[in-house]
Structure 1
Amino acid sequence: MDVLSDVLAVMRTGEPAASRTTSRAPWGVRFPAGQRAACHVVLRGGCWMTPGGGGAPLALGPGDVVLTPRGDGHALADQPGRPLVDFLPDPVETSPVPELRIPGEGAATEMLCAAYAFDRSRPHPLLGELPSLIHLPARVGHHPALRSAVELLGTELERPRAGTEAILPSLIDMLLLYVLRAWLEEEASRAGADRPGWATALSDPAIAAALRQIHRHPERPWTVAALATRAGLSRAAFARRFAATVGQPPLGYLTWWRMTTAARLLRETDTPLRVVAERCGYGSEFAFAKAFKRAHGAAPGQYRRRATDAP
């Protein structure tokens, strides 16, 4: 089990939304704060991004990628200080990537703007560690997989062909994974082995091995000693290293992940409660229900009904 993919699969809700924009100067678009992470890729031309909190404008050029993982408000414009209009996608648009055009007499900027919704009720600590703004500038030799994904997206958007509508949602999903992977790799290279955090945890072979076991088999009766064996460390050394990098003890994270997995199964499937309990490492529905209510504030059946009734 790939931990990053697993985290996104559990945290993501619904399908990603995206639009292709062609804007001619002068222009400025405001993206209000909300529940969705926003990702922008400059395909052609250039623009400026201004964080909603009043930070300094950031110049973006062809191939640059920015991500606001916490859903912070921000603005894009051909020049800092331009008047802004709110971004309001067409609610009845059925195309997987609708086009938005802003007319003008000046230079054109083409972009892909994508939005991803995450479950904010129990955010994974990996997502919680992300900065409010991730900027990955286009640099020769850096993150070739991300650059290839951007190129694929640009090609499909510029020259739609048979199968484009089926391909685009997967490419948009892939874009998010590549952006997060690129940031984690850069952060790990800057952090060093002793800095706590998920970038270090996923790059540490011992801790990553234990995390993969927890994610792959949450139903197993894991002990600290058993996880330490998988990590190739002594029990004491593993427990210290895991808590220092991940931010909580091994069995604390195991319980957290079990409850997060259980919530997803209850929201998205009709799997019987007995089976959900077994998949999450509980031998009885009673023990599972007690642990789930402690974590989520509602019994499993009540949680499922709420999720089913939600619009």
Structure 2
Amino acid sequence: MDVLSDVIAVMRTGRPRSARVAWHAPWAQQFASVPGAAGFQVVLQGPCWLILPGTDPMPLAAGDVVFRPHGRGHTLADSPSTRPTAPACDPNDPQVLQRYATGTVGMPTGTDAPVTVTLCGAYEIDPARVHPLVQDLPELIHLPAHLGRHPGLRATVDLLATELERPRLGTDAIVPALLDTLLLHILRSWLDQQPAPAAGSGWAAALKDPVATAALQAMHQDPARPWTVATLAEQAGLSRAPFARRFTMLLGQPPLTYLTWWRMTTAARLLHESDAPLSVIAAKVGYTSEFAFANAFKRQHGTAPGRYRRTG
């Protein structure tokens, strides 16, 4: 898998959730902060306003996508002057989303008031496996609807909206896959807007840098290989010292520090998702000794692999 696909696979937990909602003016809905979740809003029809604490209200139009990667709260409303009348909802609560989907939350239908239609939803994220790329993301990602931009994102939104509006056989399988696809397109679109590596550091810059990307791809494709700085530098096409400086400058940590983090994060996912013996998982992440693997795992996660599996 490529680095961005790995980021999604390793941090996601549970099932992503979404609902299609029709709002009839006047309306305002507060979405609560949800630790361990990332929330999104997609405007399908009509205008609305995004209201965040401490900032000016932001107008949204049909086709706009809003992503809150750190689970912070926000409010959507037909006007900045409309105040929420219902308690803040948890977009990661399946019962809440089911009430949204059936039209039992929000303003009553059947009126002549202007209508706004949105897709709202959330992804569950394991706090112990949040990738540094996600930690680097801003509090708000706003992708305005511009004609011809983000065609993959627009196509995914259309498919998702259709499935939620008119469920059919297979919808329960299609919707989670489309939600994962939506998340990947959101991240792709945001990364495409970021400056070139020479203009900064961080994961957005690193994923546009051929040297850092080559090394990251090598580590992600084969975490069990006994990588050294020299062998990673060879993959990246640089000598050892310039490679190490460049990688550290872009990502804020040396190559082997990231490699250890990735191995232990991968091991945590395998412990939760498989019944493989510890010796097998250790070998998959580059440890020939189960004892050495257990020590490394405990240093990062604060608990032994066996206990981590039992309490997961």
CA contact (8 A) 1:97 1:168 kept: no
Give the match for residue 30 of structure 1: 30
CA contact (8 A) 2:129 2:265 kept: yes
Name the CA distance, whole Å, in 2 between partners of 1:124 and 1:260: 9
Name the CA distance, whole Å, in 2 between partners of 1:201 and 1:239: 13
Pair 1:123–1:156, CA change in 2 (3 A):
closer
Unaligned runs of at least 5 residues, structure 1: none
Pair 1:303–1:161, CA change in 2 (3 A):
closer
Unaligned runs of at least 5 residues, structure 2: none
Give the match for residue 262 of structure 1: 267
The answer to whether structure 1 residue 250 and structure 2 residue 255 are counterparts is: yes
For residue 127 of structure 2, give the secondary structure of its aligned residue in structure 1.
Answer: coil
Letter of the 1:267 counterpart = H
Structure 2-normalised TM-score? Answer: 0.92
Query: Aligned match of 1:207 in 196, 209, 212?
Result: 212
CA contact (8 A) 1:292 1:298 kept: yes
- Per-residue Cα deviation, 1:171-207 (whole angstroms, up to 9, x for no partner): 11111110011101111xx354341111111111221
Identity %: 56
Name the CA distance, whole Å, in 1 between partners of 2:247 and 2:99: 41
Name the CA distance, whole Å, in 1 between partners of 2:257 and 2:294: 17
In the TM superposition, residue 94 of structure 1 has moved relative to its aligned partner by 9.6
Structure 1-normalised TM-score? Answer: 0.92
Letter of the 1:61 counterpart = A
Q: How does 1:190-205 map to 2 (within 5 A)?
A: 190-205=195-210
CA contact (8 A) 1:47 1:60 kept: yes
CA contact (8 A) 1:25 1:105 kept: no
The answer to whether structure 1 residue 155 and structure 2 residue 157 are counterparts is: no
In the TM superposition, residue 48 of structure 1 has moved relative to its aligned partner by 0.4
The size of the alignment, in residue pairs, is: 304
The answer to whether structure 1 residue 48 and structure 2 residue 49 are counterparts is: yes
Query: Aligned match of 2:142 in 135, 139, 158?
Result: 135
Name the CA distance, whole Å, in 1 between partners of 2:55 and 2:43: 20
CA contact (8 A) 2:203 2:250 kept: yes
Name the CA distance, whole Å, in 2 between partners of 1:96 and 1:153: 18
- Per-residue Cα deviation, 1:237-281 (whole angstroms, up to 9, x for no partner): 111111111111010100010111111111221110001110111
Q: How does 1:86-235 map to 2 (within 5 A)?
A: 86-87=88-89, 92=95, 98-100=101-103, 102-103=107-108, 105-187=112-194, 190-235=195-240
- Per-residue Cα deviation, 1:22-73 (whole angstroms, up to 9, x for no partner): 000000001011121111000111110111x321111110000000000001
Pair 1:252–1:306, CA change in 2 (3 A):
same
CA contact (8 A) 2:17 2:94 kept: no
RMSD (Å), alpha carbons: 2.0
Query: Aligned match of 2:285 in 280, 285, 302?
Result: 280
Letter of the 2:296 counterpart = A
Pair 1:93–1:166, CA change in 2 (3 A):
farther
User: Higher strand fraction: Structure 1 or Structure 2?
Assistant: 1
